[in-house]
Structure 1
Amino acid sequence: MIRFFKMWTLPLGMCAGFAVYFLFHYIPWLSPLKMLANGAEDYLLPEMVFIQLFTTFCKVNPREMRIKRWHVAMITVQLACCLLVALPIHFFPNFAYNVVAQGALVCLIVPTGTAAAVIAGRLGGNETTLTTYTIISNLVAAVMIPAVFPLVEMQSAGSFGHQFLLILRHVFPLLITPFLAAWALREFFPKAHAWMVRFCGSLAFYLWGISLIIAIGLTLRSVVNSHFDPHIMWLLALSALVGCAWQFGIGKYVGKHVGDYISCGQGFGQKNTILAIWVSYTYLTPVISVAPSCYIIWQNIVNSWQLWKKGKRDATLSNNNQSR
């Protein structure tokens, strides 16, 4: 049963998200619970992101972290890509497809997903260097998101500095505190840390599944209540597809030149989409969450194809060895 759920988490989570939304929308006696559901993006999703990051960071010893060349290269490329999208939005605020550009920006700016190291390990990549990059990308995103979002969200009240501090106050603790808490647990409570490392993999997985249900439900609510034309929704989905292809492609291209093809590709392409949905829902227009929601699908298609390709290659090698 557990194996079944792990294999089909994505479609099951999406179907459950649709079901939860329609239950709240069409069944009147669930109305008293809507207040709790409406607070999911403010409280439940951030807490789940925090726990997922914490359990991931528990696996890494900060003393053994080593910054690689590709870490610096990927952070530089990410920053450049974000600015190339954000600055035109800032200087041309009346552009008809700014919402689509903001959707692409969200998919670019969020950090590496917590499951990236697991996928990279199954593909033959280096889990340690990728987990280190996950931490670095969260540190960078904690500053980049507050710095870039005020440039593109022109409806926000207050100055750039005010908006920067406002977003920083919420995003920085969410992304940095898990790392510090995991480090403190390792240093001061080694037995508790050992227990956490032993069981954290399963916990992060189940929390991701629950977060996916909530995120899909929130996105569907945004789409239904949106005043945007349907073709904008399709363009948001397309922007996520282009962003996914670009990030996996450029990651693997850089990885070829630095000798870490798999880890570099996964680190740059596989994103923390639950965080992306939350920040777009909280700090930008809620309908923008369509882009990271679609990114979930695109990146899982890429991961599934990579795993299938590796499985086929391994089976071929095994058959060749047996024939000898």
Structure 2
Amino acid sequence: MLKFLKNWALPIAMLVGALGYQFFSLLAPLSPALIFVMLLFTFIKVSPHELRFERLHFWLILIQLIGSILIYVSIAAFNPIVGEGAMICMLAPSATSAAVITGMLGGSVSSLTAYTLLSNVVVAMAAPVIFSLMGTNSSLPFFTSFFYICKQVMPLLIFPFILAWIIQSKLPGIYSKMLSMPMASFYLWTVALAVAVGKTVAFLVNQENPNFTNEILIAVSALVVCCLQFFIGKNIGGHYKNRISGGQALGQKNTILAIWMAQVYLGPVASVGPASYILWQNTINSWQLWKKRKKDEAALKSK
């Protein structure tokens, strides 16, 4: 039974979060704390000296920025609202929790951490400019937007890394204890996932005056953008012998921040894109973890 729950933890978490959305949506304020502890367990395995920017990161951020503009232009000619929903899914920075899945898949956590920092800072600066070029009307000043995004992202990314470094260098007992719990971040992630899905379902259910045609089109376009980003990220990452980190860096998004940006700069309907993206990216993550488990089991049997 425990093996079944471990193997199917992410799909079960999504199902439980969706069915119990009224309860799990109330736990949304706990998400930052869950992400903080998840990242602490992940970063405890990373040395600060391993954190460096790479040529791969340059190409990924370029695709992220230029790709978001191209997607909007290509879709907006037919349906501007759908174009906005798809665009925000491409523009959104890498998720602070992407390092957790990257570590589980056997990718480079240090490379992913560096890109997460880079993409969040670059998007914080680029988003107001891109939205103004799109002609969206927002009274939010550039620096207000920039510092809000930094305030949302940086504590969750920087503080766990600093604390992990302090534990590594100053608290060997706690360091050894945390290393002895390699699955802690995974189980915390399942709880955070149930909360995220619950909040998404609650958001969709409680909308005022929903336009189901546009929302379905936005959700489908978010699925296409999600698959496209994982595919492109993996292929570019493969060129630099960093396939797993490349796919997660480009494909796994900070959807909470993306929903906020959509609501501030675009409109509530556009935020359906990143809201549905939560389901798509975690479905792909579940599939990847299933493949990794099957591969590891096959390797053990062959020995």
Residue 251 (str. 1) matches residue 229 (str. 2): no
Structure 1 77/111 Cα, relative in aligned 2: closer, same or farther at 3 Å?
A: farther
- Written as runs of structure 1 = structure 2, the 5 A alignment for 1:235-250 is 235-250=217-232
Cα distance, 1:311–1:140 mapped onto 2, change above 3 Å: same
Q: Which one of the candidate residues 64, 67, 71 is aligned to 1:78?
A: 64
- 1:32 counterpart residue number: none
% identical equivalent positions: 27
Partner residue of 1:229?
211
Is 1:105 the counterpart of 2:93? The answer is: no
Partner SS, residue 223 of structure 2: helix
SS at match of 1:115: helix
- Aligned equivalent of 1:16: 16
Instruction: Find runs of 4+ consecutive structure 1 residues off by over 6 angstroms.
Output: none
Per-residue deviation, 1:263: 2.9
What is the CA–CA distance in structure 2 between the aligned matches of 1:309 and 1:219, rounded to whole Å? Answer: 30
What's 2:191 paired with?
210
Matched, 1:193 2:179: no
Change (3 A) 1:196 1:288: same
Aligned residues: 289
Q: Distance in 1 between matches of 2:166 and 2:297?
A: 42
TM-score w.r.t. structure 2 length?
Answer: 0.78
Q: Which residue of 2 aligns with 1:29?
A: none
- Answering whether residue 101 of structure 2 is matched by residue 120 of structure 1, we say no
Q: Aligned residue for 1:134?
A: 112
Unmatched segments (≥5 aa) in structure 1? 25-35, 122-126
Q: Which runs of 5+ in 2 are unaligned?
A: 264-270
After TM superposition, give the deviation of residue 100 of structure 1 in Å.
1.8
Q: How does 1:1-324 map to 2 (within 5 A)?
A: 1-21=1-21, 37-38=25-26, 40-41=27-28, 43-65=29-51, 67-82=53-68, 84=70, 95-105=80-90, 109-110=94-95, 113-121=98-106, 127=107, 130-150=108-128, 151-152=130-131, 154=136, 156-199=138-181, 201-226=182-207, 227-258=209-240, 260=241, 262-268=243-249, 270-271=251-252, 275-276=254-255, 278-285=256-263, 286-300=271-285, 302-303=287-288, 306-307=291-292, 310=295, 318=302
> Does 1 or 2 have the higher relative contact order (CA < 8 Å, sep 6+)?
2
Counterpart contact for 1:102–1:152, Cα < 8 Å: no
Judging changes above 3 Å, is the alpha-carbon distance between structure 1 residues 101 and 245 closer, same or farther for their aligned structure 2 residues?
A: closer
Distance 1:289-1:77 versus aligned 2 partners, 3 A rule: closer
* SS of alignment partner, residue 54 of structure 1: helix
Separation of aligned partners in 2, 1:58 and 1:211: 19
Please say which structure displays the higher CA radius of gyration: 1
CA spacing shift, 1:288–1:66, aligned 2, 3 Å: closer
Q: Which residue of 2 aligns with 1:28?
A: none
Q: Distance in 1 between matches of 2:176 and 2:116?
A: 23
Q: Deviations over 1:146-201 (max 9, x none)?
A: 224434494654311222122222222222222122112212222222222222x3
| Aligned Cα root-mean-square deviation (Å) | 3.5
Normalised TM-score (structure 1): 0.73
Decide whether aligned partners of structure 1 residues 182 and 80 sit closer, same or farther in structure 2, where only a CA change above 3 A counts.
farther
Question: 1:54–1:179: 8 Å Cα contact kept in structure 2?
Answer: yes
> Does the 8 Å contact 1:116/1:270 carry over to 2?
no
> Contact 2:11–2:283 (CA<8 Å) still a contact in 1?
no
